[in-house]
Structure 1
Amino acid sequence: MSTITTEELSATTLLRFATAGSVDDGKSTLVGRLLHDSKSVLTDQLEAVERVSASRGQEAPDLALLTDGLRAEREQGITIDVAYRYFATPRRRFILADTPGHVQYTRNMVTGASTAELTVILVDARNGVVEQTRRHAAIAALLRVPHAVLAVNKMDLVGYDEKVFAAIAEEFTAYATELGVPEVTAIPISALVGDNVVEPSANMDWYGGPTVLEHLETVPVAHDLSHCHARLPVQYVIRPQSADHPDYRGYAGQIAAGSFRVGEQVTVLPSGRSTKISGIDLLGEPVDVAWTTQSVTLLMEDDIDISRGDLIVPSKDAPPTTQDIEATVCHVADAPLTVGHRVLLKHGTRTVKAIVKDIPSRLTLDDLSLHPHPGQLVANDIGRVKIRTAEPLPVDSYADSRRTGSFILIDPSDGTTLTAGMVGESFAAPDPVKDESDDDGWDF
């Protein structure tokens, strides 16, 4: 097994990517093949896979077992959870999420792709583009994943026919373009055999593009959020009972985007109070500046009321606060989401009561048409919603920030996650209807 030096690893960039596709399209096998052929599998892991495969009567190792870690998955032969794997080559580090293909687990695909910079969508060359393929493409578009790879798998089962690949690639690319996916790269592969996964295929000399791994290693990655709108959702207020620091009051959290520096004028939302940063603690040490993804504690010049759920932002770059949110959501719960539904809305570290005031449209995946005012969204539906919250929230557009422009709706009775929402995202929904007020205490 080849090794990567510490110097090489520190010099490489990081790519987060997710795999998606219908059941049995070969996602787990593709991931296993990537790990195996890039020599990212430990010897004992490979030996374990070989033993299990032999016990099943399989002549070759079943590489899907490298990601299908749950016992239920191995028994059913399908992926039902998001399997995360970490590996590296001399050119790049990777965090991959192998997401489920079955329609009832689409919610897991939303989770896996929410932080991805690239999505690999698999299609069985024998079946072509199916409804679940279109659903995964729509979710990738909604989540604004900047790069998409169409991996047309099982080309060995269609005789490596170029016409089959070309027809599928043309259909998917046209559909993804309508959704607004900025870039699609189509690659013909056989994950089982290894064609065009890590090594170029000798069976498809008509294809002159990159292999899957080559594309993953070279695709441009632009996930530097340090220059975006600075945002710090407050997670915890630190007030140690210490004789050395009797007046210490710090506001801890992970910086969602941008950077903060000592002496900067900031505003606390939703209250709108302003002050200056007097200090920044990072891992127990004072620093002058901190940036995205760092978990820090901010100290303020003035003793103002700041608590968990507040959002600290630069005073010159504060988002508006609102109680009326329009968004596109992917409904993930078994129970439907209906007009008038009373929910909890979690945005950052803040959770507030809310009401679904209207569902202007539901997206039809077959032709991307909009079904106006469906009245409800059922599991795996993608639709447009209007929500009224009990308290003002400082929300960004999802186009500006995937972190502070997103939210989830929660069932207040049992804590079930109902939907994942993207503020401001739209499929050009039809004209809204006028909101009707309710007569109970959930009217805001």
Structure 2
Amino acid sequence: MALAFPRPLAVMTVAALLLAGCSGGKKTADPNAPVTITWWTGQAEDAEKLLEALAAEYHTAHPNVTIKVSAGAPTTDELLTKLSAAFVSGTHPDISYAYGSWATQLAQSGRTQDLSAEVADPKLGWQEFPPAARATATVDGKVIGLPAVVDNLGIIYNKKLFDQAKLAYPTDDWTWDDFRAAAKKLTNHATNVYGTAYPVSGSENTTWMLWPLLWQHGGAILSKDGKTPQFNSDAGVQALTFLRDMAVTDKSMYLDQTDEKFGPLFLDGRVGMLITGPWQMYDIKQRKLEYGVAFLPGFNGDHQTISGPDLWTLYDHADPNRAKAAKDFVIWLTSKDTDARNSLVNGNLPLRDSEKTTPAYQKFTKDFPGAQKFVENLANAMQPRPTVPGYVELSQYVGDAVSQVLQGAAEPKAALDAAAKKSTEALAQ
């Protein structure tokens, strides 16, 4: 199973993290000392087995390092809450999986390690990771981890439904008007087929799908100093109005209240196009569905997308041996050879540019048609999501606004203005 998952956002207050206090110690590490580190993978059972095998492989090569592997929480979404409690009790792991949108909250805990010195070493190859992933891992100049998953949003479409509707397949040059027109023609309410779908649970899944349209219209999420919401600008209103027109006027958009239905509906041939990422390819492969991949539609030639990098975040226990062992393991885990051998087989995009030269990458692009398109689409991910205090709350407010508008319960301008007012308060805290 792929390590990449859709991105619903767990919620935790900054105050809970700040109870954790500060990290300690500056003692010199002994690289040969016996040491045990804990690793919370945040993954489902089958993915965790893969990671357990990696930990065992590393232990064989480094007998003094024992790695205790567990999911850390029943689901990835619950991991942030578990980390919050563990920070307070001092039982936090040495390494954990983390959604990139949690980066600021984790950094504020005072428990994260700083890998700034390691990434400055040319041997680590920091520049090989996509810019959005590097930006997400860096909070206030401190590098709190290394990328675990890189991805982006594009279009995956069902070729059979397009053929039945006698429609040309989406191209990388499509406009949003092209997308809307195709969705209308694909929709057949008599057979419960929709042109596209959108999650309206109010989670980060709801929010982050709006940001590319905002950016393409020339808008911004926040002011340059990260303190003032700007998503309720004319650009934001135009972006949300477009989505509202598809959902309310055209009725060509299936609205998923749970974040969990639109993927299976696509697999069942009930949705013609998904705005989604490479993680979807793993499930599609199991169903042997005929599909294609294209960049996100554009506005005025701008096909900007969004990347949702996740992290292997590292934490301090005031023990230099544990700190070094955790760093060394994550550097090995995200190295060209290790990642190529293990992540690519599950449909994840390569973490590093250098992996494109490996036999594993050639097999990856063959096994997952369209994977190369998502790799190319990383160049369209020009802006990261903000890593500022208050983004978690902002995401909730925007997600709720989008959900209300797409269900016809609010107007775009009023909903975004209300979300901006609440977000201003969250950012001020």
Q: Give me the TM-score of the superposition, normalised by structure 1.
A: 0.26
Higher strand share: 1
Query: Higher relative contact order by CA 8 Å / sep ≥ 6: 1 or 2?
Result: 2
Higher helix share: 2
